[in-house]
Amino acid sequence: MKIEGGCHCGQFSFRAEVDPDNVIICHCSDCQTLSGSAYRTVVPALPGSFEPLTGELKVYVKTAENGSRRAQAFCPECGTPIYSAPDDRQSEFFGLRVGAIRQRDQLVPSSQYWCRSAQSWVQDLSAMPGIETQ
């Protein structure tokens, strides 16, 4: 599936190809902190398909619990998270942040990771009353 995306302020844009059956939710504490939310939704770009179109990203390197170093790329102007990748500069893996993808409504998660860190209340949001707008 071809996708397009970008940051909130419009400074950075990209396109890529993804497998819509490979969308995951990550509940790790790093994803919670870096996203400012209870979890993050991610889809890997198919190898060689991530293509920046406009702008430059800032990269923060985070050392994970297992010692691996992960590059966290985001817009330096508005802070929108765009992807994470191994910090080896050789990998073609880009874990795209679904919130930065225009077609995000078509990218339904099929699995969850780091469930031991999940917030207890996220498993049953359907029971919570909802309001259409604020």
Note the pLDDT tens digit of each residue in 74-92.
999 999 999 999 887 667 7
The pLDDT of residue 66 is 81
Note the pLDDT tens digit of each residue in 114-133.
999 999 888 888 888 888 88
What is the pLDDT confidence band of residue 16, given thresholds at 50, 70 and 90? very high
The pLDDT of residue 64 is 79
Please compute, for residue 49, the number of CA atoms within 13 A of its CA located in the half-sphere on the CB side.
Answer: 16
The pLDDT of residue 128 is 81
pLDDT surpasses 90 at 104: yes
* Residue boundaries of the structural domains of the chain: 2-119
Burial of 105 (0-12, 13-18, 19+ CB in 10 A): exposed
46/57 Cα distance (integer angstroms): 20
What global pTM score does this model have? 0.89
- CATH number of the domain located at residue range(s) 2-119 in this protein: 2.170.150.70
The more confident residue out of 64 and 103 is: 103
Average pLDDT, integer, range 84-103: 89
Mean pLDDT of the chain: 92
